[in-house]
Structure 1
Amino acid sequence: MIKMYGIKNCDTIKKARQFLEAQGVDFEFIDFRQTPIDRQTLQSFIDGVGWDKLINKRSTTYRNLSDGEKQNITSELTLKNPTLIKRPVLVTKQGVSVGFDKAFYQRLA
């Protein structure tokens, strides 16, 4: 089962969800504001793509961090501020991906 993590009002999430639905791809959407992710799930994201790809450095949340926090992103900080995570996070049998990549999503159909 494919799982998509994000927040429902994110424009990229909306685009990704619409694309998968139009392709007839069955997936579960998890809004991490309503259903916070746990440390194990976060670690699976980190293991899958690494911190550099996982953290959305263009987000308002990231920009509001102190310079010290930006230099030392931790699991605790990310769990407390899940909007630091680049969206969507897609978990498939092929692994973890972040962001909306149309070519990758087409291969799921």
Structure 2
Amino acid sequence: MTVPILYGITNCDTVKRARAWLEDRGIEHSFHDFKKAGVPAERMDRWIAALGWEALLNRQGTTWRKLDEDIKAGVIDAQSAREAMAGHSSLIRRPIVEWPSGEITVGFTHESFKQHTREEFS
């Protein structure tokens, strides 16, 4: 991989900010839209292994709040979280970024992106 890959949803404000940040600095990247291309199962396993399921599961969003209470109560480990996120891609915190170095991050901050682009594209 030679460019960062951002995974997320096109209409997510955080994804929009992350993509704009890269574009404003002329940093080429690839974007994988969960709504159009689905959630790649093999990538999800890698993300869970690298970051932990708790870091990936978005319990703050509307999708989580609207889930049936039994489903929410059943999310207790990596496997159950994986199943919930695979069935409801909006439960995945965004953006997930796979950097050319192999590091995986979730979310967007100016500082984190500065650090990764300084290390990888300078």
**TM-score, normalization by structure 1:** 0.91
**Pair 1:26–1:70, CA change in 2 (3 A):** same
- How far apart are the structure 1 equivalents of 2:72 and 2:4? 31
Per-residue deviation, 1:55 = 0.8
Summarize the alignment of residues 1-109 of structure 1 with structure 2, pairs less than 5 Å apart.
Answer: 1-73=3-75, 74=80, 75-92=82-99, 93-107=101-115, 108-109=117-118
- How far apart are the structure 1 equivalents of 2:74 and 2:30? 31
Per-residue deviation, 1:29 = 0.5
Per-residue deviation, 1:69 = 2.1
Per-residue deviation, 1:83 = 0.5
- How far apart are the structure 2 equivalents of 1:58 and 1:50? 17
- How far apart are the structure 2 equivalents of 1:59 and 1:104? 22
Identity among equivalent positions (%) equals 31
Structure 1: 5+ residue runs without aligned partners? none
- Of Structure 1 and Structure 2, the greater helix share is in 2
- Of Structure 1 and Structure 2, the greater strand share is in 1
Higher relative contact order (CA 8 A, sep 6+): 1
> Which structure has the greater CA radius of gyration?
2
**CA RMSD of the aligned region, Å?**
1.4
Residue correspondences, number: 109
SS at match of 1:100: coil
Structure 2: 5+ residue runs without aligned partners? none
